[in-house]
Amino acid sequence: MAHFAKLDENNIVLEVNVVNNNALDASNEEASGIEFLTQWSGGYSNWKQTSYNGNIRKNYAGIGYTYDATRDAFIPPKPFNSWVLDEDTCQWQAPTPYPTDGKSYYWSEDDLSWREITND
């Protein structure tokens, strides 16, 4: 089984589809998967292969992710304006690391810090 992201004209992921191995040519899995999906979808041809384990394109594509052709990576939506993209992982990182004291926290964009979740 191989997974393929359907992209819009801005390379935003619209959906992810699975293609059975029987429809794939092992020597060129992506091209054969795109060919299959193009026929299956009635001619839509803007597809990119993705993988659960991140072996290709850094991250598994999800709806709303962006395919960045320069990085050849799927990038999730930016969660907060202050977060920056880690170029190695193509994941968004907070300006300060998540605390490692075993407590639960949420990000506060107001003061750019992690705030402890309490039961108050």
Q: Which helix (H) or strand (E) holds 105?
A: strand 105-108
Q: What is the pLDDT of residue 54?
A: 82
pLDDT band at 50 (very low <50, low <70, confident <90, very high): very high
Q: What is the pLDDT of residue 70?
A: 97
CA dihedral (4, 52, 88, 108) in degrees, to 10, reads: 100
From the CB of residue 4, how many other CB atoms can be counted at a distance below 10 Å? Answer: 20
Mean pLDDT, the chain, rounded, equals: 96
Q: What is the pLDDT of residue 46?
A: 98
Sequence spans of domains, the chain: 1-77, 78-120
Comparison of pLDDT for 54 and 100, the residue scoring more: 100
Burial, 68: exposed, middle or buried (Cβ in 10 Å; 0-12, 13-18, 19+)?
middle
pLDDT tens, residue by residue, 20-34? 999 999 999 999 999
Across 37-44, average pLDDT: 97
Q: What is the pLDDT of residue 119?
A: 85
69 in Cβ contact with 75 (< 8 Å)? no
Quick check: 85 pLDDT over 80? yes
Alpha helix (H) ranges present in the chain? 29-40
